[in-house]
Amino acid sequence: MNRRKFIQTTLLGSAAVMLAPGFSWAVEDGATLKSIKDRGALRIGVFNGTPPYYQKNLATGEWDGFCVSMGRDLAEYIGVPLEMVETTWGNSVMDLQGGKIDIMFALSNNPERAKSVDFTEAMMDNVFTVITNKDREVKNWEELNKSEIRVTVDLGSTQDLFARKTLPNCTLVALKGADETVIALQSGRADAIVQVALMSVVTAHKLGSKFKVFVPEPLDSQPTTIGVRKDEKGEFRDYVDVWLKKRREEGKVNEWIVSSLSLVGVQPSDLPPTLKF
């Protein structure tokens, strides 16, 4: 066999293997995944009082919330039990860096944090929404981009930045916190609240039937990611991304989030039909 024929045969053989059922690109274990398997447990960071993300039943000690559901599924995917380690949003990066936990769900990526930990692709799309009178029927953001429309946001938040960019012509009412924006809407000092979806569905539920969540076009979102212990080549991040992509494509992540909203009294029928996480 001449050299050219040998190369052609080798390439064809390789292609056949890659196309064969059951073939998948291997992701190296790396130090983090190896330590998880050696230890026999996946340790996730959790903290109470933040439903629908995390919620602890103080009577039974059991944990609930969509981040816990994701942790259970990932542990099963790896083939180890799940271990919950209590932390806070503020301490979670240090706990990842120090090896106290392996992974923290719903941790926002930023350049400073990325120096210490790895971040996955988006685990969910927290789309920007608007809460307003149920009869207003907001279909696109431009309907709110008028000086006579008073839009309230909590100062310095992602929705504040979004509103300033998307609604430059509205009358922006930037207030200290989310509670103040709710009071402004209830009292008539504002016509609408801009919030990310996980906030707005809970807020609208508390406000009652007079107000409703709308998902205006064009859709925009604040991606929420997963923080993981940093490996030399990002092996554990890549491993989690493979699992995450599969579960998002299957609709499992959206299913876990919607199910967990019952912890805050929100039922699937309460959600806008176009809202997907």
Q: Please indicate, yes or no, if residue 110 is contained in any of the structural domains.
A: yes
- Structural domain contains residue 275: no
216 and 129 within one domain: yes
For residue 15, being part of any structural domain is answered with: no
Q: Rounded distance, CA 119 to CA 238, Å?
A: 9
Are residue 118 and residue 241 in the same domain, yes or no?
yes
Does residue 6 lie in a domain region? no
- What span, in angstroms and rounded, lies between the C-alpha atoms of 213 and 131? 5
Final residue of a domain: which of 190, 205, 221?
221
pLDDT digits (tens, 9 = 90+) for 127-174: 999 999 999 999 999 999 999 999 999 998 889 999 999 999 999 999
Yes or no: say if 82 and 102 are a contact pair by the CB < 8 Å rule: no
Same domain, 188 and 57: no
Mean pLDDT of 113-124: 94
* CATH classification of the domain holding 206: 3.40.190.10
Residues 104 and 146 in one domain: no
Q: Say yes or no: 59 and 79 in one domain.
A: yes
Q: Is residue 63 part of a domain?
A: yes
136 and 211 fall within a common domain: yes
- Please indicate, yes or no, if residue 3 is contained in any of the structural domains: no
CB–CB of 144/151 below 8 Å? yes
Domain that holds residue 201: 125-221
In a shared domain, residues 109 and 167: no
Domain identity same for 242 and 214: no
Domain co-membership, 187 together with 63: no
Q: Give residue 158's pLDDT.
A: 85
3-class secondary structure for 142-205?
HHHCCCCCEEEEECCCHHHHHHHHHCCCCEEEEECCHHHHHHHHHHCCCCEEEEEHHHHHHHHH
Query: What is the pTM (predicted TM-score) of this model?
Result: 0.79
Residue 68: its pLDDT value, please?
98
Q: What is the pLDDT of residue 5?
A: 44
* Per-residue pLDDT reduced to its tens digit, 210-268: 999 999 999 999 889 999 999 999 999 999 999 999 999 999 999 999 999 999 999 99
Structural domain contains residue 4: no
Instruction: Say if residue 36 is in the same domain as residue 97.
Output: yes
Cα Rg of the chain, angstroms: 23
Q: 106 and 135: one domain?
A: no
Please give the tally of structural domains in the chain. Answer: 2
Percent of the chain with pLDDT over 90: 77
Residues 212 and 239 both lie in one domain? no
Where among 186, 203, 221 does a domain terminate? 221
Give the C-alpha distances (Å, rounded to integers) separating 84 from 44, 56, 89, 161: 5, 11, 15, 34
Residue 276 lies in a domain: no
